[in-house]
């Protein structure tokens, strides 16, 4: 590897195999991703925080059988996978809207 004295401008590669420019690019990318995730969470919360959004979420909870029994003895694997896939829709919304455990418990209480 070339030393700092051998490279123009005194630039030397990072000993771990990446350079400072790559590190800065990765840092900027992770910051950009973090900003995107915060914005996405805010949009989900704004959507599902309205009366209409709460209504739709309750409808999805019911339709996807979020709090229902997913497995019964004798059920084949395809049906179980189907049931879990339906449930994943609601867990995705809960996760991305950053619905708290207390809010989920309130939805469960209202649902039952």
* pLDDT tens digits along 37-73: 889 999 999 999 899 998 999 999 999 999 988 888 9
Residue 19: C-alpha distances to residues 9, 23, 43, 66, 92 (Å): 14, 6, 36, 48, 37
DSSP secondary structure letters along 32-82: HHHHHHHHHHHHHHHHHTSHHHHHHHHHHHHHTTTTS----TT--HHHHHH
Per-residue model confidence (pLDDT) at position 68? 87
Residues in the chain: 112
Global pTM reads 0.65
């Amino acid at each position: 590897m070339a030393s700092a004295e051998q490279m123009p401008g005194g630039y030397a590669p990072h000993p771990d195999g990446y350079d400072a420019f790559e590190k800065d690019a990765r840092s900027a990318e992770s910051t950009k991703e973090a900003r995107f995730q915060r914005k996405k969470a805010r949009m989900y919360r704004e959507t599902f925080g309205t009366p209409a959004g709460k209504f739709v979420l309750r409808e999805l909870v019911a339709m996807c059988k979020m709090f229902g029994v997913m497995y019964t003895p004798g059920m084949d694997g395809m049906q179980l996978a189907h049931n879990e896939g339906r449930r994943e829709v609601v867990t995705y919304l809960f996760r991305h809207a950053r619905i708290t455990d207390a809010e989920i418990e309130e939805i469960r209480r209202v649902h039952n």
